[in-house]
Structure 1
Amino acid sequence: MFPAASLLTILLLALSITASPVEIRDSPITLPIARRLNTSGGTINLLQHDQSRATALKTVDRDTLSRRTGNTVATNDVVCYTAAVGIGDPATIYNLLVDTGSSLTWVSAASYVKTSTSVDTGRPISSSYGSGTEYTDTVTLGNLTIIQQPIGVISESTFTGITVGVIGIGPLDLTEGILGGSPPTATIPTVTDNLYIQDMISQIVVGVSFEPTTSESDTNGELTFGGIDATKYTGAVAYTPLTTTEPASYYWGINESITYGSTTILSETAGIVDTGTTLILIASNAFSAYQSATGAIEDETTGLLLITSTQYSALMNLNFNVGNNTYALTPNGQIWPRALNTYIGGSTNYIYLIINDLGTPSGEGLDFINGYTFLERFYSIFDTTNSQVGFATTAYTTATTN
């Protein structure tokens, strides 16, 4: 079943599937990812983008699958992580938004270069990012090559920004209902699923490493398919099962509580981990408690919370309690990189907090979003095989780069 010519496959055959994903050092199945600021349209509004996305993620009708056919999703990749993905043979390289909140890989029709491996299935496809046609094509991730990967070629898209599409690494079920002419429960294999189906990885797992950066554009991250890169984290990885609470359960949803210092501001509840969200958004009641505890005021220009230098010196850790483990976001980890203030319309010397209002109270089934400002401080593992999410500390967990 496994081609003898594949060194990757031979290596993975020697590894057993256990309750924890395979650890890989110097892995041949990693893909660099870069953080980019979208400055093409002038000042960027982080809060507006993230709250719009949160509304779309929460607006879920499991029966009618309306979340996949509507246009309520935030469509401007204000600040994002992108991966260079090859499509076709010979491959054209596209910088695609890395999105754990989506499972479809797609490119805009205006950018798509057809080759001999591009096959138009003729079936309409409709996702939250727009509508178009399903193709199958060769997809290259680093030195891994997937054949006949279903992708969307989107001709009518509400998506604008600095990328031309998305690589979706969300759960498989998010693709239900997006393919015209198919039963509502039909799914489209994600790139991670097909890596597994085509015997290139032994587990349906993606490890994600981000690092804090103060640069406008910086290759400072990594995706690892089929395992986790032990060189990217410190200590042990702790896993938590996926939540069963809807609508968080449709995504990479987990249960957690949040404390500021020793004060609980959000009791244990369900929410999601999302690379497509920049900020950390928490339920309105928790946000009010956090604002009160920090003494922050709302900045009218950016919409973010603003604190003084004295208040920054007095900040306590913001603790994310997941199962029996606590992930402490240090004071420096709670602020936007000051070197990038002007890109969000802020003032150079101001101190802005990256925790903000989800826009709805707790108890609605999706009460927090741990965006990439959280993930820059902790290594994360998205494990379909064992239905769990994992976190570990990194060399950057307590960094003072911001």
Structure 2
Amino acid sequence: MDEATATHGRTMDDSIQHARPWNPAASVKKVNTITNSTNIVARDLARLNNYFKKSAISERQSAPVINEVFSYIAETTVGTQTFDLIVDTGSSNTWVGADTKFVAGSTAKSTGDFVSVSYGSGEFSGTEYTDTVSVDGTGVTGQSIGVAKSSSGFSDVDGIIGFGPEDLTEYTVSGVSEVPTFLQNLVSQGVISENILGVSFAPLTGSDDEDTNGELTFGGVDDTKFTGDITYTTRTGDYWGVSVTKFEFGSTSLGTTTASGIVDTGTTLLYIPTATYDKFLTASKGKPDSSSGLVKFTTKPTADFTFVVGGTTYTLTPADYLVPTAQYANWGISGSGFYSIINDGGSEAPNTILGQTFLENFYAVFDTTNNRVGLAVAA
């Protein structure tokens, strides 16, 4: 959050790895180990690198989520305990025990199976249990959860609740090929009728370092969170993948080659292909800043940054792609200048990650039922 896929596990914050390829509702909370922009870039890139590794209620249910600068964390009840879990559409396992230790209650049952997931910037391993799991009162019974015996990269956060495709759980648990996700169980147990997740994020205001300004909607979308129509595109690859084309900065083309993209709540920044990024630096007169890990501008840019997904153009104004000056302390940025959330995603696919800071301007729909991803302008 900011900011995980499984390599038979995956990393937190911006890049998680799954047994397959891949490069980070209820209240959502920030991961306190990520204290500045340099940390966030390192975490995002570690997660990005993980992408390359393989190994009868019919109405929707909604819950608030908390933005804590770099991540969203859902307060999730497992049995009788409450855990702060990263909301991650880049991985699919749900696990606990990184910070707050899991205590098995009367509803918990150990399967005895080994579970392990690597996220690039972190990992965990332990034992699979089944237990009741709920987010802001919306819950299921018999949910597969990993209980960590060891973990790394997850300080001051308890684990992850995964909202990625079920494929990402493949081979993460011994003895089974895949395990049902939380959303799948909501459908199978009749809590919601469709396997759809609507995600509404929003930027922090002023110098706030936490705000309950987001929402997860299970089983549908919240029409009040976006304007106009939702544009859907068929999901590609193992993640919530989309094809991205026609990057532009103002009137300057940054290339027309189709990029392999992922829409990921677990990644903090917006990442674009290296070739596009290099052209962006030239067009914007920005320079990589080693102290922050971000692109720095001496003069505030005035041009919009745009790209196309599914035939629809998405526009980020300078106010959208620059870190607000009031947030510099929260990002660990000192001194003058202007800093961008647009960063280098590398040359190897996937190399375009639409992360949290992008999603704070657009409503996202992760529709497993119809195998598609939707985006709309945030209200």
TM-score (norm 2): 0.84
Q: Which amino acid aligns with 1:377?
A: N
Q: Which amino acid aligns with 1:206?
A: L
Whole-Å Cα distance in 1 between the matches of residues 37 and 365 of structure 2? 33
The reply to whether residue 50 of structure 1 matches residue 44 of structure 2 is yes
Structure 2 vs 1, CA of residues 336 and 96 (structure 1 numbering), >3 Å: closer, same or farther? Answer: same
Q: Which amino acid aligns with 2:39?
A: N
The reply to whether residue 235 of structure 1 matches residue 228 of structure 2 is yes
Structure 1 match to 2:311: 324
Whole-Å Cα distance in 1 between the matches of residues 95 and 362 of structure 2? 28
Q: Displacement, 1:380?
A: 0.2
Deviations, residues 281-312 of structure 1 (Å, cap 9, x unaligned): 1111111011111101222211211112x332
Structure 2 vs 1, CA of residues 149 and 39 (structure 1 numbering), >3 Å: closer, same or farther? Answer: closer
Structure 2 match to 1:142: 136
Whole-Å Cα distance in 2 between the matches of residues 193 and 42 of structure 1? 35
The reply to whether residue 392 of structure 1 matches residue 379 of structure 2 is no
8 Å CA contact 1:240–1:390 kept in 2: the answer is: yes
The reply to whether residue 204 of structure 1 matches residue 195 of structure 2 is yes
- DSSP 3-state at the match of 2:300: helix
Structure 2 match to 1:168: 162
- DSSP 3-state at the match of 1:250: coil
Q: Displacement, 1:39?
A: 5.7
8 Å CA contact 1:99–1:167 kept in 2: the answer is: yes
The alignment yields a C-alpha RMSD, in angstroms, of: 1.9
Q: Displacement, 1:259?
A: 1.9
Q: Displacement, 1:265?
A: 1.7
Q: Which amino acid aligns with 1:250?
A: D
Of 307, 327, 331, which aligns to 1:340? Answer: 327
The reply to whether residue 284 of structure 1 matches residue 274 of structure 2 is yes
8 Å CA contact 1:210–1:379 kept in 2: the answer is: yes
Q: Displacement, 1:188?
A: 0.5
Question: What percent identity do the matched residue pairs reach?
Answer: 42
8 Å CA contact 2:248–2:305 kept in 1: the answer is: yes
Q: Which amino acid aligns with 1:100?
A: T
Structure 2 vs 1, CA of residues 150 and 34 (structure 1 numbering), >3 Å: closer, same or farther? Answer: closer
Of 98, 115, 118, which aligns to 2:108? Answer: 118
Of 238, 241, 253, which aligns to 2:241? Answer: 253
- DSSP 3-state at the match of 2:48: helix
8 Å CA contact 1:37–1:217 kept in 2: the answer is: no
Residue correspondences, number:
334
Deviations, residues 141-170 of structure 1 (Å, cap 9, x unaligned): 222220000100011111323311100000
- After TM superposition, the structure 1 = structure 2 runs for residues 3-402 of structure 1, keeping only pairs within 5 Å, are 31-34=25-28, 36=30, 38=32, 45-58=39-52, 60-61=53-54, 65=55, 79-88=70-79, 91-108=80-97, 111-128=101-118, 129-182=123-176, 186-214=177-205, 215-243=208-236, 249-257=237-245, 258-266=247-255, 267-308=257-298, 310-312=299-301, 315-347=302-334, 349-358=336-345, 360-361=346-347, 364-395=348-379
8 Å CA contact 1:294–1:311 kept in 2: the answer is: no
Q: Which amino acid aligns with 2:241?
A: G
8 Å CA contact 1:32–1:221 kept in 2: the answer is: no
Structure 2 vs 1, CA of residues 165 and 118 (structure 1 numbering), >3 Å: closer, same or farther? Answer: same
Q: Displacement, 1:41?
A: 6.4
Deviations, residues 177-204 of structure 1 (Å, cap 9, x unaligned): 111133xxx1100000000111111111
Structure 2 vs 1, CA of residues 341 and 39 (structure 1 numbering), >3 Å: closer, same or farther? Answer: farther
Structure 2 vs 1, CA of residues 277 and 352 (structure 1 numbering), >3 Å: closer, same or farther? Answer: same
Q: Displacement, 1:115?
A: 1.0
8 Å CA contact 1:193–1:204 kept in 2: the answer is: yes
Structure 2 vs 1, CA of residues 55 and 205 (structure 1 numbering), >3 Å: closer, same or farther? Answer: same
Whole-Å Cα distance in 1 between the matches of residues 273 and 37 of structure 2? 26
Q: Displacement, 1:365?
A: 2.9
Structure 1 match to 2:14: none
Q: Which amino acid aligns with 2:75?
A: A
Q: Displacement, 1:43?
A: 7.8
Q: Which amino acid aligns with 2:140?
A: I
Structure 1 match to 2:63: none
For structure 2, the residue ranges without an aligned partner over 5 or more in a row are 1-24, 56-67
